[in-house]
Amino acid sequence: MAFVVIDEGESLESALKRFKRKVQQEAIIKEIKKHSVYFKPGEKKRMKEAQARKRMRRRMKREKDLEY
Q: What is the pLDDT of residues 12-61, one digit of tens each?
A: 999 999 999 999 999 888 888 888 999 999 999 999 999 999 999 999 99
The stretch 1-10 carries a mean pLDDT of 89
Q: Within 13 A of 56's CA, how many CA atoms are on the CB side?
A: 6
Tally of domains within the chain: 2
- Give the per-residue pLDDT at 35: 87
User: Do the Cβ atoms of 53 and 61 come closer than 8 Å?
Assistant: no
Which range marks the domain in which residue 51 is found?
39-68
Q: In terms of domains, do 33 and 46 share one? A: no
Q: In terms of domains, do 13 and 30 share one? A: yes
Q: Does 62 have pLDDT greater than 80? A: yes
- Give the per-residue pLDDT at 68: 67
